[in-house]
Amino acid sequence: MRVLGIETSCDETGAAVYDSQRGLLARALHSQVAMHSEYGGVVPELASRDHIRRVVPLTEQVVAEAGMAIRDIDGIAYTQGPGLAGALLVGASVATALGFALGKPVLGVHHLEGHLLSPLLGDPKPAFPFVALLVSGGHSQLFAVAGVGDSTLLGDTLDDAAGEAFDKTAKLLELPYPGGPALARLAQSGRRGAVALPRPMKDSGDLDMSFSGLKTAVATLARREPLIAQRKADIAREFEDAVVDELVAKSLAALEQTGMQRLVVAGRVGANRRLRDTLAAAARGRSAEVFYPDLKFCTDNGAMIALVGALRLRPSTVCDYAFTVHPRWDLASLDAPAPRTIELTTQHEQSGVSCAPTSE
């Protein structure tokens, strides 16, 4: 099944075409970082307007690069949530209108399920079941994943997400937007152990996490002495080490608790090099495997949305083309689709409110 994926949940417009048998055929992404950097963060109204300008040209581009005509698409998937309401509506309305015009099935996809399954775009691909560490700007969660739509929440952040803490700490250190990558670059010149920060819940005995107190501790350090270049770098290094220590400890504990030997790391923070290196070394020590999406799939992208569409849509799916978006959406609420295996990936009955499969 050839699926067009459209992603417009926040500040990146993504489009891609995924084939159930041939894999990813084409992808394109436009980042709004340059536009939002002037404001020090994402401006929702500007994000929505830019999605309107970009989504149709990007869609046309990926269909052409896939060597297809738009009528050759078998289905369309779009990000239904979570995310910015206005931004989500852009992708939902374009995808649904296009599906209606072509008479093709349309599926609303959970953004976090896209991230969680994005390592399936790589090679080697993780087999189910696995533990998933989902770390992004808005989420820091651990799941036991038995299959598509079959995820059990193991641990969650009690306050800030890891990516959010990176961004807020970067502001405290007077770093430019986007803060997370800027902080990680600065940390490379920091001296390990030059300053001390807490690991709030590293040894809490459960799989929950906390990063708000860590950010507060950085604020205290930043006020204590002048923020000269080396001190900024030392604080950035210690902050990154503290976040990585907690994420690694919780991930290993989740593997131990579930008895699983595969860990999938997804989301924007999953691109952090120190996290990847530390997790890889820790996993080798317990004979576990760690899987990451390619760096280009760590940020929001249309490829992961098209992939989920290919896993959940069926050629027989019919739609009434009604749609809604879910700015807040619990991943655990997703239903597991009925299995229908085709080689590597699986075409599944979708579980959204807009479409219903016909009987076969």
Q: What Cα–Cα distance (Å) separates residue 137 from each residue in 23, 112, 308?
A: 28, 12, 21
Residue 139: strand, helix, or coil: coil
CA–CA dist 116, 22 (Å, integer): 21
The residue type at 168? K
Buried b (16+ CB within 10 A) or exposed e, 259-293: ebebbbbbbbbbbbebbbebbeebbeeeebbbbbb
Residue 203: per-residue pLDDT: 87
User: Residue 352 has what DSSP assignment?
Assistant: S
Q: What is the pLDDT of residues 258-287, one digit of tens each?
A: 999 999 999 989 999 999 999 999 999 889
Residue 332: per-residue pLDDT: 80
Both tokens of residue 263?
């860990």
Both tokens of residue 57?
């040209």
Q: Do you know the residue count of the chain?
A: 360
Mean pLDDT (the chain, rounded): 90
Contact 208, 158 (CB under 8 A): yes
For residue 182, count CB atoms less than 10 angstroms from its CB and return exposed for 0-12, middle for 13-18, buried for 19 or more: middle
Place of tokens 């996490």: 209
Q: Which domains does the chain have, with CATH numbers?
A: 2-117+298-357 (3.30.420.40), 126-292 (3.30.420.40)
32 φ/ψ sector (left φ>0, alpha ψ -120 to 50, else beta): alpha
Residue 100: per-residue pLDDT: 96
The residue type at 81? G
Residue 233: per-residue pLDDT: 97
The stretches of the chain forming alpha helices (DSSP H) are 33-37, 44-65, 85-102, 111-117, 162-172, 179-187, 212-224, 229-258, 273-284, 302-312
Q: What is the mean pLDDT of each run of 10 residues along the chain (360 residues)?
A: 97 97 97 92 96 98 97 97 97 97 96 94 93 91 94 94 93 92 96 93 92 92 92 97 96 96 93 94 92 91 97 83 93 69 31 34
Residue 54: per-residue pLDDT: 98
Residue 291: strand, helix, or coil: strand
Pairing of strands 140-147, 150-156: antiparallel
